[in-house]
Homo-oligomer: A and B are copies of this chain.
Amino acid sequence: MKNMKRAAKRGQYHHGDLAAALVDTAVELIAERGVAGFSLAEASRRLGVTVAAPYRHFADRDALLAAVAAKGAGELATAVVAQTHGLTTEAERLAAGALAYVRFAAGKPALFQALFAAGLDKHKRPELEAAAAPLLEALCQPADSLCGGVPDSGKDLTLAVLATCHGHATLLLDGAFGPGPEAVEDAANRAAAATRALVAGRDALR
């Protein structure tokens, strides 16, 4: 009775698609308090639902977290792929991917953190690897093209670019590039530039 108000305010998820609603609410919550501060109980409260209800849709807290992470992996891959379209050189496609990667981390930190900072056993959640596969592929294709003959060198370049993007993204979220939207573009541009440098100096990879 008392929590009916909240449910009404927030849009009556009762008997709707609670699973999806929980994912959305989890994203909100993580954005506000970080992954560690997220709880099933609080998410339930926000949706005007009992703490028992989520267990009909997710085995436990980590399962919901994994669903958020999978959504993040999909959206990140989509964002990167979208940016790499319509560019002429392979190097520029990689650089554009780097830009998109860092911007995504800054724009949807909750999804990014669920994917990377939630401490989920990715080995035990093959869905996540599957959701992340398109991202790998989007970077792998230009890299392979650039590295033509040499075996494995496409993979080496892909991994180097990915790690560089990831480093810029995580340092950015950690505040190492300073505050504000200006820091986001700075970090993104640096990641893109570093990607170009990796491409230019790729003979030194392995």
Contact = CB atoms under 8 A, between A and B. Distances in A.
Q: How many copies does the complex hold?
A: 2
Interface in A25-59: 34-36
Given A167-B170, A170-B167, A194 B200 contact: no
Contacts of A34: 119
Contacts of A166: 167, 170-171
B205 A194 contact: yes
Interface string A145-177: 000000000001001101111111011001110
Contacts of A194: 160, 163-164, 198, 205
A167 B163 CA distance: 4
A7 interface: no
Contacts of A205: 190, 193-194, 196-197
Interface string A118-130: 0101110000000
A160 B122 contact: no
